[in-house]
Chain A
Amino acid sequence: MTEMQAGAIYDRGYRHYDGPREGRSRRMRAIVTAGVRRCLGLKRNWKTKVVPFALLVGAFGPVFAFIGIRLLVGESVGQFLGYGRYLGVVALVLLLFAATAGPELLCPDRRQHVLALVFTRPVTRADYLAAKLAALLLVIGLVALVPLVVLFVGNTLTAPRAATYLREHAGDFGRILFAGGVLTVFYSTVSLAVASLTERRSLATAGLLGTFLASTVVANIIFFTATSFPGRRWLTFLALQGLPGRFVEWVFGTAAPPGSMAAEAGFTGPAYLAALAVLSALGLALLAWRISRLQP
C-alpha cells in the first residue's frame, strides 16, 4: 500500500493544450475522411448504408460474379463485356452515386449550420473545397476505377498465361485508368457544383438527376425531330449523360451505336473529352465561387 502524503490537491480540471499541433494536411485529411465516411455510410446505422452499398453492389457485383465463373469454368466463358462497354453500363450507377454523394458532402454542413465551426478553425475556404473535392473523388473513383481494375486483374490471373495477357493488354490497363479518371473528375466537379447551390440535399440530387437525364432525352428528341435544324450535330453535347459514354467509346475504340445521335453527329472522341473538360472546369469555377461566398 502506498504511503499517503500529508496532503495534495489534484488539478484535474480544464487545462491548456500544450502538446504538438499538427498541420494543415492533418486538418484536411480529417475533412476528407469524414466526407468519405458520410458518403459511404460507414460508422453509422444501417439505413444510411443502404443506398451507397446497393450502388456498390451494382458496380462490383457483376465483376466478381464473372471472375468467379471464370475461375470455375475456365476461359471458355469468353470475354466479359469489354471494359468500355462495362464502363458505359456503370455510368448510370456513377450518376446516381455522384448525385447522392455530392450533396451529402456539402449540403448538411450548411443546413445544420456547422460551417461556423469549420471556419473558425484554421481551415481556409480553399482547403475546405479541396478536401471536399478529394473526398468525392475518392468515393466516385471507387466506383469508376476499382471495379475495372479488379476485372483486369481477374482477367490476367485467370488467363492461360498471365504474362502474355498482361503484355497484350497493358494498353487496356492504361485506358481503364485514363477513362475512369476522367469520368471521376467530371462527375465529382459537376455534382459538387450543383450541390453548392442549395442547402437541401434532396433538391440537389433531384436537380442533378433531372438535368442529366432530361438533357439527354431532350437532345435526342430534338436531334431526331428537327432534322433541318442548322448545327443540330452540336446537340450531341447537350446530352449530358451521353458525353461520358461517347468518350469511353472513343478511348476503348468501340463505335457509337449506328443510327444514334452521336454516330450521325460525327464528332471525334477528343471533342467529347474537351466537352467533359469544359464542363468540369465550369463546375469547378462555380463551386469555387459558391464556397468563397459561403457565410458561416
Chain B
Amino acid sequence: MKGAPVVFRFTVGQLLAGRRLLVTGLLTAFPLVVPALLAAGSGRDPDDFTLDLFRALVLPVLLPVVALTFSTTTLGAEVRDGTVVNLVLKPIPRPGILVAKYLAAVLATLLVLLPAVAAAHLLAARGLGSTTLLSGMLAATTVATLTYCALGVLLSLLFARALLVGLAYALLWEGALVSVAPSASSMSVRGYAEGVLAAIVARSGLDFPARLGPLSATLLAVVVTLLALTLAVRRLERMDFR
C-alpha cells in the first residue's frame, strides 16, 4: 500500500491549494474571534460564553459547513471530472484510496477549525482559561469532524449535489431535531459531539443537558463513521468510471 500516503499528501495539497487554508481559516475564525474579543471585556463568565458560542455557532453551522465542503470535494469532485482514474489505475487498493482521501478531508477540516476554536477560547478567557473546556471543545470538534467527513465522502459518491444533501441534513434535520424530538438525538452528529463535550466538561462544573451519555455518544459516532466509510468503499469498488 505504498501509494496511499501519496494520495493523502497529494489530496491535502489539492484541498488547501493556494491561499485556501488561509482564507477558509480566517473566514471561520472571524465570527468566533470577534465575539470572543467583545466578551472578554464584558464581564460575562468567559467559560460560559465560550461554551455558548461553541454550541450555538461552531457545532451547528461552522463545523458542518467546513467539514462537508472538504469531504464532498475530496473524492467526489475527482470522480465527476474524471481525474480520479489517475489514482484508480495504480497499484493502490481502492479502500486505501478512499481512506486516504477521507483522512485528507479530516485533516483539512481540523486545520481550519481547531485553531479557530482555540483562539476564541483563549481570547475570551484572556489566557489559558479552563483547560477542561478547551480540551472538551477540541475533542467534540474532532469527533464531529470524523463523522461528518465520513458522511460527506459517502454522499459525494452517491449524489451529484452531495454538499447540498449534507447541508440539508446538518442544518434542517439536525436543527429541527433539536427542537422537536430530543429523543432522536441518537441520529444526530451534533448530538454525539455534545455528548462527548458534556461528559468532559461536567467535571469542571459547567453544565448543560446533553441527551447522550459519553459512552453512547462515542460509540454511535464510531459506528456511523465506520458504516459510512464501509458503504463508501463498497460503492467505490463497484463503480464504473466515466
- Judged by CB atoms under 8 Å, the answer to whether A and B touch is yes
Cross-interface CB contact of B163 among A47, A205, A213, cutoff 8 Å: A205
Q: Give the residues in chain B near A201, CB-CB below 8 Å.
A: 161
B57:A221 contact, CB within 8 angstroms: yes
Interface residues of B in 35-92 (CB under 8 A from A): 35, 38-39, 41-44, 49, 52-53, 56-57, 60-62, 65, 68-69, 72-73
A96:B172 contact, CB within 8 angstroms: yes
B35:A222 contact, CB within 8 angstroms: yes
A217 within 8 A of B: yes
Task: For residue B94, give the distance in angstroms from its CB to the closest CB of chain A.
Answer: 23
Task: Digitize A202-228: 1 where CB-to-B-CB distance is under 8 Å, 0 elsewhere.
Answer: 110110011001110110111001111
A51 within 8 A of B: yes
B42:A229 contact, CB within 8 angstroms: yes
B167:A220 contact, CB within 8 angstroms: no
A221:B160 contact, CB within 8 angstroms: no
Contact A225 to B44, CB < 8 A, known contacts A202-B72, A210-B65: yes
A184 within 8 A of B: no
B31 within 8 A of A: yes
Q: Give the residues in chain A near B171, CB-CB below 8 Å.
A: 92, 96, 209, 213
Contact A209 to B167, CB < 8 A, known contacts A214-B57, A221-B57: yes
Cα–Cα distance between A210 and B69 once the two chains are bound (Å): 11
Interface residues of A in 11-62 (CB under 8 A from B): 47-48, 50-51, 54
Interface residues of B in 1-56 (CB under 8 A from A): 27, 31, 34-35, 38-39, 41-44, 49, 52-53, 56
Q: Give the residues in chain B near A227, CB-CB below 8 Å.
A: 42, 44
A100 within 8 A of B: yes
- Chain A contact residues: helix, strand, loop or mixed: helix
Q: Give the residues in chain B near A221, CB-CB below 8 Å.
A: 35, 49, 52-53, 56-57
Q: Give the residues in chain B near A51, CB-CB below 8 Å.
A: 161, 164-165, 168
Interface residues of B in 162-208 (CB under 8 A from A): 163-165, 167-168, 171-172, 175
Q: Total interface residues on A, using CB and 8 Å?
A: 28
Cross-interface CB contact of B61 among A100, A213, A226, cutoff 8 Å: A213
Cα–Cα distance between A235 and B168 once the two chains are bound (Å): 27
B42:A202 contact, CB within 8 angstroms: no
Cα–Cα distance between A126 and B49 once the two chains are bound (Å): 48
A220:B168 contact, CB within 8 angstroms: no
B241 within 8 A of A: no
Q: Give the residues in chain B near A205, CB-CB below 8 Å.
A: 163-164, 167
A92:B65 contact, CB within 8 angstroms: no
B69:A203 contact, CB within 8 angstroms: yes
Q: Give the residues in chain A near B31, CB-CB below 8 Å.
A: 214-215, 217-218
Q: Give the residues in chain A near B68, CB-CB below 8 Å.
A: 206
Q: Give the residues in chain B near A50, CB-CB below 8 Å.
A: 159, 165
Cα–Cα distance between A96 and B168 once the two chains are bound (Å): 8
Q: Which residue of A has the minimal Cβ distance to B167?
A: A209
Task: For residue B156, give the distance in angstroms from its CB to the closest CB of chain A.
Answer: 10
15 contacts across the A-B interface (CB closer than 8 A): A48-B161, A92-B171, A202-B69, A205-B163, A205-B164, A206-B69, A218-B35, A221-B53, A222-B34, A222-B35, A222-B39, A225-B42, A226-B38, A227-B42, A227-B44
Q: Which 3 A-B pairs have CB atoms at the shortest separation, nearest pair first?
A: A202-B163, A226-B38, A226-B42
Q: CB within 8 Å of A: which residues of B?
A: 27, 31, 34-35, 38-39, 41-44, 49, 52-53, 56-57, 60-62, 65, 68-69, 72-73, 159-161, 163-165, 167-168, 171-172, 175
Q: 18 other contacts beyond A54-B168, A213-B60, A214-B61, with CB at 8 A cut-off?
A: A50-B159, A50-B165, A51-B165, A202-B161, A206-B167, A210-B65, A213-B61, A214-B31, A215-B31, A217-B60, A217-B61, A221-B56, A225-B38, A226-B38, A226-B39, A228-B42, A228-B43, A229-B38
